[in-house]
Each structure stands twice: as C-alpha cells, then as structure tokens.
Amino acid sequence: MAKLKEKLGAKIQEHRPRTQKLLKEHGNVKIGEVTIAQAIGGARGVRCLVTDISYLDPFEGIRFRGMTIPETFAALPKGPGDYPLVESFWWFLLTGEIPTAAEVDEVVKDFQARRAVPEYVGQVLRAMPRDSHPMVMFSTAILAMERESEYVKRYNQGMKKDEYWDPTYEDATNLLAKLPSIAAMIYRLKYKGDAQIAADPKLDFGGNFAHQMGIPKPYDDVARMYFMLHSDHESGNVSAHTTHLVASALSDAYYALSAGINGLAGPLHGLANQEVLSWIMKFQEKLGGKDPNEENVKAALWDTLKAGQVIPGYGHAVLRKTDPRYVAQMEFCQKHLPNDPLFKVVNTIYKVAPGVLTEHGKTKNPWPNVDAQSGVIQWYYGLKEWDFYTVLFGVGRAIGVLANITWDRALGYPIERPKSVTTKMLEDVASAAIKADDLGSD
C-alpha cells in the first residue's frame, strides 16, 4: 500500500468516532436557523455541509486544513520552482499533514504511473464537433473514463460500507493524475491543429501540464500556483457541492466530477475569469491608449457604474476583504510581469475600485476576488484562448472536490436530500410572523 493511502486510512480510523459521537450524542443541537430569504435565495449562508478540507472565513479568506494560503505555500516542500508541487498539496488536503520531501516524491511517482490517458478518450474528443466548448470536451472526457472505475468494480463484487473510501481514493487519484494531460490534449486539439505533445515521465503534475501545453518556464510554476489556488473553496460553491451531491448517491468519482465540472462552466462560477479578462481589455480601450493612472481609471470606473454596469471581478458571496487568491496572483505578477500593460490596468483598478464602489454604496464587498487577476497571467504567457480558462479552473478544482468525496465515503455520509416547501407555505409563515409581531406590539 502506498504511504499516502496508508496514512489516509489511519486518519480515517481516527476521525470516524468523532463524526459518530456527534450524530449519536449531539445530533439534535441546532447550528442555525433558515430564513425565507435563504430558502428563496439559493440557501445562502445556511450551515448544512461539513468538510474539514477548507473553510472560507469572510475576513481571513480561504484556509486549507486550517492554514492560510501564504502559510500553506510556506509550509509545503518546494518543487523545482518557487511553489510547492501539486502532489504535496494533494497529500496535505487528504491528511491534514505537511509531507516530507520523500513523501512528496512518492506521490509524484505514483501520479506519473497513473498518468496515461486511455486511447479511447482521444477518439471520443476527436469525434466531437471541433467548435465544442472546451468544458464540454473536458466533462465528456472525464465521463467517458467511467468504465475505469475501481469503485464500481468493488461495489459490484460486494464490499463493506466502511471500505467504500478505498476504491474511491483509487478512482480519485487515477482521475486526478490524468486531468492535466486531458486538459492539454483538448487545448492542442482545438487550438494547435491537434499537434499533441507526449507526457514527460520525469515531470511533476504542474511541470508536465506546462510541457504538454507547449508553454516554457516559468509557466510550470504558474500551473502549480493556479491549480492550488483554485482547488477548493469549502463545500457550498456550485462545483464542490454538485460533486458532493452526485457522489452522495454513491455515484463514482467520474460521474461526480463530470457533474461538478458542468456546474463550474456557468458564468456565475468558473466562467467568470474569462468574462473579467474580456471586460479588462474593453476597459483598457476606454483609456484611449493612455497609461493607466488613478485619475483616469477612477473616471472610467464611474462611467461604468453610471451606465448601470458592474465592475466584474469585484465582490464575493462570502468574502468581505480582498481575496487572498487575488493577492497571491498579484504578488506573482509584481515579480514576473510588473510592466505588462494589462497588469498595470488591473493593478490600478485594484487601487481605485474599492473606494469607488464604497462611495457608490451598492456593493457589500468592494474588494476583488480571484477572477479579477487570473486571466491576465494566462494571457501574458501566451494562452490567449480564453474560453479554455475554465478548464484550467476545473483541473485545479478537481484536487479539492476529489479529496472531499474520498472523505465523504470514509465517514459514510448519507445521500443528500433537503426538504422543499411551497411558496404558499412561506407566505403563511410570513403572515403568522406579522400577526405575532402585531400582538406583541399590543
């Protein structure tokens, strides 16, 4: 048994009694109440999901296994560049422990051994219309590999419920190891005349992705940083929740991740980084060729708001500060592309937009999220086919959601089935509340 899997098995055995005790002894303890606004408004803020892998604090931002992004990057063993290897992050998300360099090396070799993409995946992708959206191709490729599922094989043979996590781990690791090669295959199929680049058996997850994309250093570090920053954002976002929901029916990792990727494709979720970059370029045109400064950017932002438009990339459903993922990418840009015209625009907007939005008064959070920055880096390194950007997001998001569903199986979480109410029921509750208030005022 590989050391990571052995370590994960021990962690599962330690954790199961905690969940079982909470259910048996404290299951009736309330952790919140649901309002009509939450019921109608997409369950926003309803605390009804459990994950120990990441938590999104409104003021601290994302914490992976309790650690902030800077803490995570500092603690994990470095790869050949400035960032940790994705393989070390996979170990960390699964176990909550910082791996040694030797343990990371073992995971790298394990991923390399699992990396080969079945030949039929390429056949499926080439049979699709060439103008298919990259996310359609990505989701289809994942779903096509469902026949490889170890979980399905073991389930059909019969196994105990407390063993479900084991083949789920195998599916998750097999799938994750292949995703960079699949993403690069789609990119080169659509945009590079199907001139494919073979995987390099000596490279890590991020390094091999950059290699198969055909983009030189330091894009390997861009990939490592990007995949880790986009990996997980607690369980309530669409892609994470969808993956969890589908897996809760005991669908295997291929079904679950494909469904999550479909959710990620929406313009209110993963597609947003593409839309932000398009807006930034149009905003740059508004400056009429002038270098961005706080004065002309502020005027252009006010023109945008007065025209009834929004400033995309600003605001967040949960965060009430600058997204730490934005900060991490901004620091990369300041080091590697400080004089890039697009970055200058983005950086000047960052200096001005929070004040403008605060004065405008219609935004709860005037600070940028991750999408306000990420597309600029990809564009700078030559990846200018922005409808592919969400696939990059999908590769990263897979790390977190696959770790989560492995733990879901380990802890025996049941099928998810929230209860619905009718609009009439809500109206009756609202009327009863009004009457109760009137009686109380008497």
Question: Hey, which residues are catalytic here?
Answer: 269, 316, 371
Question: What is the rounded CA–CA span in Å between residue 117 and residue 102?
Answer: 26
Residue 415 one-letter amino acid = I
Report the alpha-carbon distance of residue 342 to residue 349 in Å, rounded. 11
